[in-house]
Amino acid sequence: MKTIKGPAIFLAQFMGDEPPFNSLDSICKYMADLGYKGVQIPTWDDRLIDLEKAADSKDYCDELKGKVASYGLEITELSTHLQGQLVAVHPAYDSMFDGFAPEEVHNNPKARTEWAVQQVTWAAKASRNLGLDAQVTFPGALLWPFMYPWPQRPAGLVDMGFGELAKRWKPILDAHEEQGVYACYELHPGEDLHDGASFEQFLEAVDGHPRACINYDPSHFILQGLDYLQFIDFYHERIKAFHVKDAEFNPTGKQGVYGGYQGWVDRAGRFRSLGDGQVDFVGIFSKLSQYDYDSWAVLEWECCIKSPEQGAAEGAPFIQDHIIQVTAKAFDDFAGGGVDEEGNRKALGL
């Protein structure tokens, strides 16, 4: 077994226009002072990284790593959640998702998709230049408007949707293979890959591609009523990244999984700061340790009640307290002995 690395933190939800959240230096110092050992970098924020330059220049990446290391931190992964989302967008969401892309590709879905594919491919190269083995992303969605089958979905629609998603991602995954980097999809409602079954459908469509992996985030599973612990039993070999995020699901006689169009505070299912929700992190850290997950535990802060500053301050010790220093020996070793073939034969009556 191996010991999980951490605590680390995803910077996306903390970036802003005021210090210490407006530059790489200041936010690294802030997070290091809270006890974090790693940072996950959103690649769409040019205050943190120039993605194209990182893909092209090992020297630039060495400088970036050095700057982060000067605060006692490591880069855990690069994130392309926003760009990955744009690899596949149903037309119903075109206007809303245009905001994730540069203005020059707005109102041009084909150009926007090409831009997104380039971005995620650059992230694979940049990850290798940074010495990272995984990046975290979203897969996008073509089928989400047809999630609840009413009216009845036309025969073949789901297969066609996953076939098209696979067609778009297969070259990107091949580029990840060339760089030795895993593409870790965050399985998330709103994405075509949102649970184990949909991940399997995609995996089949990309012929079991070895670089198609998972960014495990239990918060999205508790809101679906999915067994997030058994999920680890099923898919641990594909889990290459881990977002530590809490959530709670409190259905009532008025609303359940779908939220009733309510704001986050009033939903039956809502995201919470670590320790304030219902996720069994003791069970999660135990299972991941059991299955030799040895990458980072990364806080993704999203809470509808608590401030990000308090969430970040509480998150580092919470993760640290849950990391298991795995044992190298069995608890009953003291009562054991060496291999004795003759003794074994006698014990069996042979």
Topology of the domain covering 5-347: TIM Barrel (3.20.20)
DSSP per-residue string spanning 318-342: HHHHH-----SS-TTGGG-----HH
Q: Which residue, among 284, 252, 289, has the nearest Cα to 268 in the 3D structure?
A: 252
Distance CA 52, CA 240 (A): 24
- CA angle at residue 279 from 298 to 186, to 5 degrees? 45
Tokens 């996306």 -> residue: 12
Rounded to whole angstroms, how far apart are CA atoms 32 and 8?
A: 9
Q: Which two tokens stand for residue 285?
A: 């850290």
Burial zone of 87 (CB within 10 Å; 0-12 exposed, 13-18 middle, 19+ buried)? buried
Looking at residue 337, its pLDDT comes to 66
Q: How far apart are CA 130 and CA 270, in angstroms?
A: 35
| Ordered DSSP codes for 196-259 | HHHHHHHHHHTTT-TTEEEEE-THHHHTTT--HHHHHHHHGGGEEEEEE-EEEE---SS--TTG
- Per-block average pLDDT, block size 10, for the chain (350 residues)? 96 97 98 98 98 98 98 98 98 96 98 98 98 98 95 96 98 98 98 98 98 98 97 98 98 93 96 98 98 97 97 98 88 70 88
- The percent helix, strand, coil of the chain (3-state, each to 5) is 45, 15, 40
Pair 15, 22: CB distance under 8 Å = yes
Q: Which two tokens stand for residue 257?
A: 């999984």
Q: Residue 299: what residue type?
A: L
Beta-carbon contacts of 185 under 8 Å, excluding residues fewer than 6 positions away, are 84, 137, 138, 139, 191, 193, 199, 212, 213, 214, 215
